[in-house]
Amino acid sequence: MSKPFFTVYCLIIYAFLLAPILVVVGASFNAGAFLTFPPQGLSLRWYFVFFDNDVFMRAIRTSLWVAFVSMAISGVIGTMAAIFYVQHAGRLKETVRVAMLAPLLLPEVLTAISLLFFVYSIGIGTQTMVGMIAGHVLITLPFVFINVSASMEGYDPSWSMAAQSLGAGRFTRFWRIMLPLIKPGVIGGCLFAFIISFDIFTISFMLKNVGTSTLPIQLFDYLRTNFTPEAAAVSTCSIVLTLAVVIISEKFLGLRIHRF
């Protein structure tokens, strides 16, 4: 395949992937009263309406809180699982790997329904946010596991053995030696977990408690009865937030492709 042809091919693919995003962003600046594209004039009107909407602001705060909590829990469990997988799993290595990646293999709606039955069977129901956070952790955990495992593959156990010979305990070896070396994988996995959790719809819709809505759920409810450019403004802000997290991770970590 010639280089010019390959370049054109890649540009077409990128245009196909980015076209919906560009349409949403363009529609958010629509000066008209309805969600249309191309916009009927340019205006920031719907952004001001969005930022004055207490319902959407509350939904954003809920999404951020759930994403941060899910990211923290997934970061701890995923890091521990990755360390066990690389250094201690032995003959169970493939079993551990499949078990950790299983949530990615199942349709999200099936996972949500199963969790819904589970939280009701243990008496939690949807009265608290425990069920929703558990669902978010289940979905985001594989991303932390994959990133940390990739970092752990380059970690030499002899470094910990050298520290042990000098009298360092397990916690000291982990905190002072292992964690700084695998930190890019930990931070990268946590950032991916945050992005995924912030945008999850099905798990949140099935497991949310009464009176609580994340941003994707609130946007879905809004579009059922309204079709104004405010929805595009909300989507654009969500896109900008996600893009900012990706840029930060690229700038400070450098996203690399690892063989896993």
Does 260 score more than 70 pLDDT?
Answer: no
Q: Is residue 113 part of a domain?
A: yes
| Start-to-end CA span in the chain (Å) | 28
Q: Is residue 132 part of a domain?
A: yes
Q: For residues 209 and 132, what is the distance between their CA atoms, to the nearest angstrom?
A: 8
CATH number at residue 114: 1.10.3720.10
Q: Is residue 25 part of a domain?
A: no
Nearest of 67, 7, 28, 65 to residue 219 by alpha carbon: 28
Q: Is residue 151 part of a domain?
A: yes
* Reduced 3-state DSSP string for the chain: CCHHHHHHHHHHHHHHHHHHHHHHHHHHCECCCCCCCCCCCECCHHHHHHHCCHHHHHHHHHHHHHHHHHHHHHHHHHHHHHHHHHHCCHHHHHHHHHHHHHHHHCCHHHHHHHHHHHHHHCCCCCCCCHHHHHHHHHHHHHHHHHHHHHHHCCCCHHHHHHHHHCCCCHHHHHHHHHHHHHHHHHHHHHHHHHHHHHHCCHHHHHHCCCCCCCHHHHHHHHHHHCCCCHHHHHHHHHHHHHHHHHHHHHHHCCCCCCCC
Q: Is residue 66 part of a domain?
A: yes
User: If pLDDT is split at 50, 70 and 90, which confidence band does 99 have?
Assistant: confident
Number of domains in the chain: 1
State CA 109 to chain mean position distance: 17
pTM: 0.81
pLDDT value at residue 72: 92
Lowest mean pLDDT among 93-102, 105-114, 144-153, 239-248: 239-248
State CA 141 to chain mean position distance: 10
Q: Is residue 83 part of a domain?
A: yes
Q: Which residue has the higher pLDDT, 255 or 50?
A: 50
Q: Which pair of tokens denotes residue 18?
A: 């980015």
Residues in the chain: 260
Q: Is residue 92 part of a domain?
A: yes
Q: Is residue 139 part of a domain?
A: yes
pLDDT in tens, 144-198: 999 888 888 777 777 777 777 777 777 777 778 788 888 888 888 888 899 889 8
Averaged confidence pLDDT in the chain: 81
pLDDT value at residue 252: 61
Average pLDDT over residues 224-233: 81
Does 73 score more than 90 pLDDT?
Answer: yes
Lowest mean pLDDT among 38-52, 139-153, 217-231, 238-252: 238-252
Average pLDDT over residues 77-100: 86
User: Which residue segment(s) compose the domain that 242 sits in?
Assistant: 54-252
Across 22-26, 163-167, 192-196, 221-225, which has the greatest mean pLDDT?
A: 192-196
